[in-house]
Amino acid sequence: MYKRKFVPLALGLMLAAAGVAAQAAPKAPAGGYGVGRPATEAEVKAWDIDVRPDFKGLPNGSGTVSRGQDVWEARCASCHGTFAESNEVFTPLVGGTTPDDSKTGHTKALATGTVPQRTTIMKVGTVSTLFDYINRAMPWNSPKSLSTDEVYSVLAYLLNLAEIIPENFVLSDKTIAEVQQRMPNRNGMTTAHGMWDIKAKPDVQGSSCMKDCPVSAEVTSRLPEFARNAHGNIAEQNRPIGPVRGADTTKPPTANAAGAAAAPAVMPTPAEPASPAAGLVGKHNCTACHAKANKVVGPSWDQVAAKYKGAEGAEDKLVAKVKAGGSGVWGAIPMPAHAQVPDAELRQMVQFVLNGAK
Amino acid sequence: MADEIVRRGSIKLAPENFLTETQLQEARTARRQFMAKALAMGAGVAAAVPAGSALAAAAAGAGEKEILELPEHTKGLGQPVAARAYGQPSKWEGGLQRRESPGLTRVPQASVSFCPLQGMFGIITPSGLHFERHHQGWWDIDPSKHRLMVNGLVKVPKVYTMDELMRLPQVSRIHFVECGANTGMEWGNVAVPTVQYSHGMLSCSEFTGVLLSTLLDDCGIDLKKAKVVLAEGADGSSMTRTIALDRALDDVIVAWGQNGEMLRPENGYPLRLVVPGVQGVSWVKYLRRIEVGDMPYATKDEAVHYIDLMPDGQHRQYTSIQEVKSVITTPSGGQVLLEKGFYNITGLAWSGRGRIKQVDVSFDGGRNWKAADISSVVVPKALTRFNVGWVWDGRPAILQARAVDESGHVQPSYRALRAVRGTKSIYHNNAIQSWLVRESGEVFNVQA
């Protein structure tokens, strides 16, 4: 359909024919709009980093499993675990595939459902995807900081962990196509469905029955009682006026108090804004590594508050520590320095942490 | 009342923010007394007294305090103009906020916040309540430094500044954006209590920008070779998604405007792609580059995520279209009907294949259906608001809505959907939602 010579008028007709918002693409003045400029070669090179499944866009380079292990331990393990098995910041990257899957090109566990979690390597069918993604987005908190050879190396390490390549394999732009032939789920994708092409037909059609329709007699699923308040008190997540109120989910549901509930006698008092320091730990990205209740890369705010409760000089000491960074108190993983953060804000954040991060 | 409310996060609410069961009981008693009194006085109008007006007046035969005692705002001087240079919602509206679903994600920069559909009206999402999905945190980018590059199979690869883009012919269109994983937690069973968490990765705005086809034309796209475009963001994740060429040339917008102002930073300021009818992940934020190519790119979010696992172990790749879907938003899970009687049942319907043609509502778990009113704004690939009257008799009821789009696609039941796609798909759950109203008036998320 688009084989014909492209002119704006033809596009307008196509839109009208397709029955979409019938607004013809505007006709450019003769000689074009005169905005924008040609991109330079260096500019295109700087941004055009994508790598396709046929390896178009793959930069020249290479890496070994052992160098990859060094990169992994220095740049990745803090979040993903030493063996890419960690579930702390994301689902595990590796696991759930077998050498047999490498032969068939189907991750068997996806069909049998025998593993609890679907790891990255179980799903991904194209090795280019992993190169492209690590190169553009990892490490998560300092993306695009790896050299090309570091990307090859760390990918080699991951592929070795997944038993796709041997320990002495040198991954490079020359050898990566071989790896593609061993990807466990390389035959696991289908595009035979109705959700890509704009003209495609849906696969599941509902019923148009209006009267005395067949239905299953009972409720088959509902939220278990223990989960009633798991999303916070629903009463606070609704408007205090109107036809309904939010249920007080801190309490069990009422028995059948047949009939009416009445409007509240008391209007809610508006929420206080979150403390400014809560905003600061977001602004300075501390929350990339710290959360209130659970350990992420660094200790949880609650752990820090508990450790230094009542300790003399803790505030000053911690302000200095966050500024300079360092490791050893909570483990071997270092916290980066925060020299760029103003002292007053560092102090506010440390006070916030020591006061229970409320 | 001594109960102290401990909330997730750092916001603390005053304890009187909700009614305890005792207070609810008091309120019910008070209402009954008022009604009794009014009836005793022979006032036939009592039946017409709306809920909520009765309480304070219980004792006062003369009428309600709210009317008889003039409040401060009737007797005093109010606030000056521009006291808030950028207006804010009423302080009473604080309950309706974007919220995270606890335990769903592990780090807050690769996470989701859900839109509070349970309390919203019409079809436009206020920009501050628009759902968020970030993979590597959000930014507030200096627009004067932002650039859009178009390269690949074009005659001239080009670079545009915001100044230049905003001079081009522009369109303003209303479209919904729904995350492909919306309602994804509910494939196997009920997992969340309210419509905010079950359907809240859904928003709808008026977007303003230049048609992508205008830009591709301006760069001289090679229509003989081109089959797809790749859209890429400028943030750390440099989110990338492939879009089929026929779609890219159809109604895709390179947008800077949202609901009359610039995009919000959380929604991609200063530039994002709007891909009508397609899942949110393709609406690349902080858009920096469009590459014209001749094969799909299999990027991380189209080769590891946003792929739909079928029962045979195969993944459907490049699933994009958000199919016909609807949900009743009021009343919905976690809400309590105040009393028996008439209710306006309201909700939203949408389809990535065009306009909504019809919405039917059932009050008996799908046995019988009634067409709802969809007479307000109905435009293609936008949310459509539906309304229908219902008299609640105080007995348990299961409420459902079912939408039909202009392509004739009817929203399926869970049973029909699972029969084909199983329960592990994560993505593209457009099944009919059921809300169970119990005798107490409380509404529960159920699957029937």
Instruction: Single out the residue in B316, B342, B359 at which a domain terminates.
Output: B316
Structure tokens at A41: 């070669």
Q: Residue B36 above 90 pLDDT?
A: no
CB atoms within 10 A of CB A300: 17
Helix (H, G, I), strand (E, B) or coil at B248: helix
Q: Residue A258 above 80 pLDDT?
A: no
Indicate the residue of A1, A33, A50 with minimum beta-carbon distance to B291.
A50
B218 located within any domain: yes
Q: Which residues contact A302 (CB under 8 A, 6 or more apart)?
A: A292, A293, A356, A357
Helix H or strand E encompassing B332: none
Domains of chain A: 62-180 (1.10.760.10), 274-327+334-358 (1.10.760.10)
Same domain for B251 and B164: yes
Q: Residue B52 above 80 pLDDT?
A: no
Name the residue range of residue B39's domain: 15-75
Torsion of CA B426, B429, B431, B435, to 10 degrees: 70
All residues of chain A having their beta carbon less than 8 Å from the beta carbon of residue B314 are 188-190
Write down the number of H helices and E strands in chain A.
Answer: 14, 6
Alpha carbons B263 and B257: distance in angstroms, whole number:
5
Alpha carbons A357 and B83: distance in angstroms, whole number:
32
B116 touches chain A (CB under 8 A): yes
User: From its phi and psi, is residue B259 left (phi > 0), alpha (psi between -120 and 50) or beta?
Assistant: left
Model confidence over B72-81: pLDDT tens digits?
Answer: 999 999 999 9
Are the beta carbons of A189 and B444 separated by less than 8 Å?
Answer: no
By CB neighbour count within 10 A (0-12 exposed, 13-18 middle, 19+ buried), where does B74 fall? Answer: exposed
Alpha carbons A340 and B182: distance in angstroms, whole number:
39
Considering only residues B22 and B172, tell me which one the structure prediction assigns the higher pLDDT.
B172
Structure tokens at A206: 């509902």
Total count of domains within chain B: 3
Same domain for B159 and B39: no
* Vertex B428: Cα angle to A135 and A134 (nearest 5): 5
Residue B153's CATH number: 3.90.420.10
Q: What is the mean pLDDT of residues A39-50?
A: 98
Alpha carbons A103 and A185: distance in angstroms, whole number:
10
- The DSSP bridge pattern shows strands B356-362 and B397-405 to be antiparallel
Structure tokens at A117: 């979690």
Are the beta carbons of B321 and A357 separated by less than 8 Å?
Answer: no
Confidence of residue B439 (pLDDT cuts 50, 70, 90): very high
All residues of chain B having their beta carbon less than 8 Å from the beta carbon of residue A47 are 149, 232, 288-289
Q: Residue A192 above 70 pLDDT?
A: yes
Q: What chain B residue is nearest to A36 in terms of C-alpha separation? A: B160
CA distances from A69 to A142, A333, B122 (A): 19, 16, 55
Residue B393's CATH number: 2.60.40.650
Same domain for B350 and B310: no
pTM score over 0.90: no
Same domain for B372 and B262: no
Model confidence over A284-308: pLDDT tens digits?
Answer: 888 878 888 877 788 889 999 999 9
CB atoms within 10 A of CB B382: 22
Based on its alpha-carbon atoms, the radius of gyration of chain B, rounded to whole angstroms, reads 25
Same domain for B281 and B247: yes
Same domain for B437 and B304: no
B263-282 burial, b at 16+ Cβ within 10 Å, e below that, comes to bbebbbbbbbbbbbbbbbbb
Write down the number of H helices and E strands in chain B.
Answer: 9, 23
Strand partners, B203: B177
Are the beta carbons of A245 and B5 separated by less than 8 Å?
Answer: no
Are the beta carbons of A20 and B339 separated by less than 8 Å?
Answer: no
Same domain for B310 and B345: no
Strand partners, B312: none
Q: Residue B43 above 70 pLDDT?
A: no
Q: What chain A residue is nearest to B188 in terms of C-alpha separation? A: A221
Same domain for B312 and B267: yes
Indicate the residue of A2, A33, A262 with minimum beta-carbon distance to B249.
A2
B147 located within any domain: yes
Same domain for B113 and B236: yes
All residues of chain B having their beta carbon less than 8 Å from the beta carbon of residue A247 are 334-336, 442-443
B3 located within any domain: no
Q: What is the mean pLDDT of residues B243-250?
A: 97
**pLDDT number for residue A106:** 97
Q: What is the ipTM of this complex?
A: 0.87
Based on its alpha-carbon atoms, the radius of gyration of chain A, rounded to whole angstroms, reads 28
Residues 222-261 of B with CB under 8 A from A: 223-224, 226, 230, 232, 236-238, 240, 244-247, 249-251
Q: A181 and A106 in contact (C-beta within 8 Å)?
A: no
B88 located within any domain: no
**pLDDT number for residue B436:** 97
Q: What is the mean pLDDT of residues A326-340?
A: 84
Give the A:B interface size as CB pairs under 8 Å: 493
CA distances from A10 to A5, A7, A14 (A): 9, 5, 6
Q: A259 and B29 in contact (C-beta within 8 Å)?
A: no
Model confidence over B11-25: pLDDT tens digits?
Answer: 333 333 344 555 555
Cis peptide before A8 (omega within 30 of 0): no
